[in-house]
């Protein structure tokens, strides 16, 4: 009869989120006797927000006693069943950030829970963001008493994703990029077509940035799980969590994809990615006649239009530096001397004068590169790996580079030297490959401005280090920042 219908209506209302049911059924009690059962050490909001029983993503709650995720709140939902079976009573809706007591089903309103809300969804004011690089940052303390510096937190290696972790650690210290993503309103207003889900990548990266810089974390490390799941999905499994990949491939794909997802165009200031990293150059290309021809034939070819030097304007997000081939012979004392090269020697490729040969299956070309615009942050990719017919080889040459005052003006032609007034850069991130080609591991060195200290990071492992130790490593990717 009629009471039956009423009862069903009430259950439906209690199921639906964000419908404030009448106070008779849902008294909003302020005090909850179970708050002392919350175990902050077990809370981890870095994983996918899905119910641990039904795997649904809709209407998911975290049990604040054991940390597991369950769906629903009304009777015969997994959260309700869990609360009765285990006598765990305090739950947090992972979407609305509201707290509830089950099975009694009332909302808990208590400011002592704000720290939990903040870990799930850290927020930064403009004032907070301005303070990050001031140079007087204090250590934060986790729930178990561990000290950590915001921005210097380990990232979980879920299986073989250290090649992604080093890139994420490095990008987290590119100040304009970090500042942009710490404030969600910067990209919340980007207009996107309905059904455009690649934007999740932008949201996940923002969430990860905020967690890495959160001064009130419960743990001194963060899991990039959700962020990397978005990467696996949007790269169509080109980048996996379970297989070692190449950081430069990941970095290149990630920057281009973020740029596109944020509605970036070809204009240099159309996204925070281009504003931070986009430089410009002219590429001069000339074709070389086949070597087997005699001088007369060569001269005839050189006069044709096909063999004239062509020039094109191009832009770059990173510069590829080629290492000189390592010596083939070991010296007479059977000692294998590790070859060394100066950074400026590698950069001379971009001075507009030196030429480099490029071969296709039928033609040979000479190219030279002239930089016409330097970005605020320069990414260098030091090409260590070469594929030959049978296997991957690694060049062990050590690059000697200064940490501060690297003058990229030295490689500019006179014309652009006079246009580009500021050209001195300092290293802020250095990604290193250790071990055999195709195997091995990656680690990163990061300059933390807030404490004026260099840190070495390898997944969860974080230690401070000296700048002179960094220059002895097999650098693979470097990020330089324009000095003030």
| CATH code of the domain covering residue 53 | 3.30.40.10
Token pair for 354 = 């030196």
Task: Check: CB of residue 147 under 8 Å from CB of residue 217.
Answer: no
Tell me how far apart the alpha carbons of residues 46 and 213 are, in angstroms, rounded to a whole number.
14
Q: For residue 357, give Cα distances in angstroms to 107, 237, 286.
A: 70, 34, 10
For residues 258 and 290, membership in a common domain is answered with no
For residues 304 and 326, membership in a common domain is answered with yes
For residues 325 and 458, membership in a common domain is answered with yes
In terms of residue numbers, what domain contains 239?
A: 121-273
The helix/strand/coil state of 168 is helix
For residues 66 and 164, membership in a common domain is answered with no
For residues 205 and 188, membership in a common domain is answered with yes
Which CATH number fits the domain that encloses residue 248? 3.90.70.10
Look at residues 173, 379, 156 and name the one whose alpha carbon lies nearest to residue 279: 379
Q: For residue 69, give Cα distances in angstroms to 25, 199, 203, 235, 443.
A: 25, 25, 21, 28, 33
pLDDT digits (tens, 9 = 90+) for 185-214: 999 888 887 777 889 999 999 999 999 999
Tell me how far apart the alpha carbons of residues 412 and 381 are, in angstroms, rounded to a whole number.
19
Q: For residue 18, give Cα distances in angstroms to 107, 310, 481.
A: 11, 64, 46
For residues 222 and 337, membership in a common domain is answered with no
For residue 315, what is the DSSP state?
E
Helix H or strand E encompassing 91: strand 90-93
**According to the model, what pLDDT value does residue 20 have?**
46
Task: Check: CB of residue 51 under 8 Å from CB of residue 78.
Answer: yes
Burial, 268: exposed, middle or buried (Cβ in 10 Å; 0-12, 13-18, 19+)? middle
Tell me how far apart the alpha carbons of residues 231 and 250 are, in angstroms, rounded to a whole number.
9
Q: Give CA angle at 138 (132, 141), nearest 5°.
A: 115
Q: How many other CB atoms are found less than 10 A from the CB of residue 296?
A: 8
Token pair for 426 = 């300092």
Q: Which of 245, 273, 301 represents a domain boundary (last residue)? A: 273
> Which contacts of 323-331 are long-range, i.e. CB under 8 A and separated by 24 or more positions?
323/382, 323/383, 323/384, 323/395, 323/397, 323/399, 324/397, 325/395, 326/395, 326/396, 326/397
Q: Is the dihedral of CA 329, 332, 336, 339 positive or negative?
A: negative
For residue 326, what is the DSSP state?
P
Q: Which of 251, 273, 295 represents a domain boundary (last residue)? A: 273
Beta strands (DSSP E) in 360-419 are 364-373, 377-383, 385-387, 392-394, 398-400, 406-407
Token pair for 43 = 């809370």
The helix/strand/coil state of 341 is strand
Tell me how far apart the alpha carbons of residues 479 and 406 are, in angstroms, rounded to a whole number.
12
Contacts of 351 (CB under 8 A, 6+ apart): 370, 411, 412, 413
The position carrying tokens 């009130």 is: 216
Torsion of CA 241, 242, 246, 252, to 10 degrees: -30
- For residues 29-67, one letter each, b for 16 or more C-beta atoms within 10 angstroms of the residue's C-beta and e for the rest, the string is eeebebbeebeeeebebbeeebbeeeeeeebbbbbbbeb
Q: For residue 35, give Cα distances in angstroms to 32, 40, 78, 170, 467.
A: 6, 11, 21, 39, 47
Tell me how far apart the alpha carbons of residues 121 and 297 are, in angstroms, rounded to a whole number.
71
Question: Is the link from the previous residue into 331 a cis peptide, with omega within 30 of 0?
Answer: no
For residues 237 and 361, membership in a common domain is answered with no
Q: For residue 133, give Cα distances in angstroms to 173, 179, 273, 452, 455.
A: 10, 11, 20, 9, 15
For residues 221 and 254, membership in a common domain is answered with yes
Tell me how far apart the alpha carbons of residues 49 and 97 are, in angstroms, rounded to a whole number.
13
For residues 305 and 453, membership in a common domain is answered with yes
- Beta bridge partners, 378, equal 480
Q: What is the pTM of this model?
A: 0.90
For residues 134 and 113, membership in a common domain is answered with no
For residues 268 and 300, membership in a common domain is answered with no
Work out how many domains the chain is built from and give that number: 3
For residues 200 and 286, membership in a common domain is answered with no
Q: Which of 221, 252, 273 represents a domain boundary (last residue)? A: 273
Q: How many other CB atoms are found less than 10 A from the CB of residue 451?
A: 19
Q: Is the dihedral of CA 156, 162, 168, 173 positive or negative?
A: positive
Q: Which residues of the chain have pLDDT under 50?
A: 5-25
């Amino acid at each position: 009869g009629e009471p039956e219908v009423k009862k069903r209506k009430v259950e439906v209302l209690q199921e639906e989120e964000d419908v404030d049911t009448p106070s008779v059924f849902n008294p909003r009690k302020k005090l909850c006797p179970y708050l002392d059962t919350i175990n902050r050490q077990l809370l981890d909001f870095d994983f996918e927000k899905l119910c641990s029983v039904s795997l649904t993503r809709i209407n998911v709650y975290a049990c604040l006693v054991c940390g597991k995720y369950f769906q629903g709140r009304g009777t015969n939902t997994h959260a309700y069943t869990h609360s009765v079976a285990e006598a765990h009573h305090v739950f947090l809706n992972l979407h609305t950030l509201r707290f509830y007591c089950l099975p009694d089903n009332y909302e808990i309103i208590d400011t002592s829970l704000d720290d939990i809300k903040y870990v799930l969804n850290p927020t930064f004011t403009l004032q907070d963001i301005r303070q990050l690089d001031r140079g007087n940052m204090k250590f934060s303390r986790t729930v178990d008493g561990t000290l950590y510096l915001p921005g210097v937190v380990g990232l979980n290696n879920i299986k073989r994703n250290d090649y992604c972790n080093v890139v994420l650690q490095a990008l987290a210290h590119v100040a304009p990029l970090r500042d942009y993503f710490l404030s969600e309103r910067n990209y919340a207003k980007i207009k996107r077509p309905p059904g455009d889900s690649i934007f999740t990548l932008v949201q996940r990266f923002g969430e990860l940035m905020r967690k890495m810089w959160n001064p009130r974390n419960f743990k001194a490390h963060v899991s990039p799980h959700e962020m990397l799941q978005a990467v696996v999905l949007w790269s169509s499994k080109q980048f996996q969590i379970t297989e070692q990949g190449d950081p430069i491939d990941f970095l290149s794909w990630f920057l281009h994809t973020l740029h596109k997802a944020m509605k970036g165009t070809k204009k240099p200031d159309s996204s925070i990615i281009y504003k931070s990293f986009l430089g410009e150059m002219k590429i001069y290309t000339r074709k070389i006649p086949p070597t087997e021809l005699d001088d007369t034939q060569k001269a005839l070819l050189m006069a044709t239009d096909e063999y004239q030097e062509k020039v094109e304007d191009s832009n770059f997000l990173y510069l590829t530096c080629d290492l000189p081939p390592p010596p083939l012979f070991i010296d007479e004392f059977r000692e294998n001397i590790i070859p060394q090269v100066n950074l400026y020697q590698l950069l001379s490729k971009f001075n507009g004068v030196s030429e480099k040969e490029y071969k296709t299956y039928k033609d040979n070309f000479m190219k030279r590169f002239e930089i016409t615009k330097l970005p605020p942050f320069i990414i260098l990719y030091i090409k260590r790996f070469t594929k030959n017919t049978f296997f991957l080889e690694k060049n062990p040459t050590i690059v000697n580079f200064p940490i501060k005052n690297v003058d990229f003006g030295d490689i500019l032609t006179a014309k652009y030297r006079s246009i580009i007034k500021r050209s001195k850069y300092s290293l802020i991130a250095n990604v290193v490959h250790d071990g055999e080609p195709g195997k091995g591991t990656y680690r990163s060195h990061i300059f933390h401005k807030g404490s004026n200290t260099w840190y070495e990071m390898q997944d969860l492992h974080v230690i401070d280090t000296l700048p002179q130790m960094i220059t002895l490593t097999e650098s693979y990717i470097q990020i330089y920042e324009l000095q003030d």
